[in-house]
Amino acid sequence: MTSQNFTRIAATLFGIFALIVAAAELPQAMSRADGSATDSIRFAMVAISAVAGALFLFARATTAMLRTIANSTGTGLLQFCCALIMPVPVTVSTLSEIVPYWLGLTLTGIFMVAFVFPGTAYRGLVPAASSALDMQTLGAMAKPLLHRNKWIKRIYSVAAFMIPLPFIFFLYGPRVIVSQTWQAQGEWLAVGFALAATGITLLPLFWVVPSAARAGTWPGLAVCAVVTGLVLTAAYQIMLLRSVPAIAAGFGGSGTVLTFPVLKVDPDNSGRFCSNSVWIGTDAGPVKLCNFLPEELEALALRKTLRISGKSTWMGQVARVIDAAD
């Protein structure tokens, strides 16, 4: 198989995957579009997945367009942007649960080989002379700045270690019932932290661009800044609304028992990370709890009330014991 055929197949498969998961999650995103930051980010991720899917579905035209852009701007910026867009459909897939998790990761990995690293889509490309700087050149120019400023260097090091942790907590951490107060505060704190982190991460790249190359380089960096901001907002939302309340409850929480109304019982057991789920009503909005036993779902469907025991603070409660209320 030639690299050209592999690239087109990778783009088509990724486009189909991104469109399917976006279409499956769109009704849920629309029904919960109440103006909160969480739902706004959720809708934005569905929109990005849909746009990316529609774009890469037309593999021949999209690949030709990317090669044309790379010919004038270099491949580094495109590879960076594709790397940022790449995890969005996978994240939407974990929400919709319509595509098996292993299949989504496989298709994303194939896409990475084609468009990120090593980037078969750009093979044989001979860039034309351009004033735009690629990401490798920008990184080399920013390196002396990072060495001079130890604080920026430390922030980069901590960010590289911290960014994956919220997503790991999202998949494997304890269930947290967030309070209405912390839900409202944490959502917008996440947006603020994401904007600050995006600025700290990308401002050195803007600073080092010579004035003669700004017209060709800054627009691409601006696009990367927007995508980076969306990804970091999702990460900070998970950290502030899941990780922080769980840590606070673990160190300074008191034991509580709360009851919640059961809104919906879903006996579907096909989900990779969430099956046999129950939707409950909380002060902060509907919350989905997962992985109940079939007999527990039957009891909840009859009694319509769920009791949760665990440590809690003003930020929320960690659900340790969950059962049907009498």
H or E segment at 311? strand 305-313
73 and 167 in one domain?
Answer: no
Last residue of a domain, one of 251, 266, 288: 251
16 and 120 in one domain?
Answer: yes
Do strands 277-282 and 176-178 pair parallel, antiparallel, or not at all (unpaired)? Answer: unpaired
pLDDT at 272: 58
229 and 152 in one domain?
Answer: yes
41 and 16 in one domain?
Answer: yes
Q: Is the pLDDT of residue 315 over 80?
A: yes
Task: State the residue range of the domain holding 90.
Answer: 1-129
DSSP category for residue 32: T
141 and 218 in one domain?
Answer: yes
**The domain that contains 264 carries what CATH number?**
2.40.50
109 and 11 in one domain?
Answer: yes
pLDDT at 160: 63
Last residue of a domain, one of 85, 114, 129: 129
For 35, the 3-state DSSP assignment is coil
Distances (CA, A) of 24 to 46, 50, 226, 285: 9, 11, 25, 21
In this structure, what token pair is assigned to residue 94? 């974990």
223 and 147 in one domain?
Answer: yes
Tell me the per-residue pLDDT of 137-189, one tens digit each, with 9 for 90 and over.
766 777 776 667 777 667 766 766 666 676 677 666 778 888 888 888 888 88
6 and 115 in one domain?
Answer: yes
102 and 82 in one domain?
Answer: yes
DSSP 256-300: EEEEEEEEEEE-----SS--SEEEEEETTEEEEE----HHHHHHH
232 and 193 in one domain?
Answer: yes
CA gyration radius, the chain:
22
Question: Residue 269 — pLDDT band, cuts 50, 70, 90?
Answer: low
Tell me the per-residue pLDDT of 244-263, one tens digit each, with 9 for 90 and over.
888 888 888 888 888 888 88
273 and 236 in one domain?
Answer: no
**What is the number of residues in the chain?**
326
Question: Residue 132 — pLDDT band, cuts 50, 70, 90?
Answer: low
Query: Quick one: what percent of the chain has pLDDT higher than 90?
Result: 14
Per-residue b or e along 103-134, where b marks 16 or more CB atoms closer than 10 Å to that residue's CB: ebeebbebbbbbbbeebbbbeeeeeeeeebbb
pLDDT at 235: 77
93 and 216 in one domain?
Answer: no
Last residue of a domain, one of 251, 273, 289: 251
Indicate the Cα dihedral angle 151, 155, 158, 159, nearest 10°: -170
Nearest to 75 by CA among 122, 13, 140: 122
Q: Is the pLDDT of residue 34 over 70?
A: no
Averaged pLDDT score across all residues of the chain: 80
State how many domains the chain has.
3
pLDDT at 130: 54
Which of the pair, 57 or 191, is modelled with greater confidence?
57
- Cα separation of 145 and 204, whole Å? 7
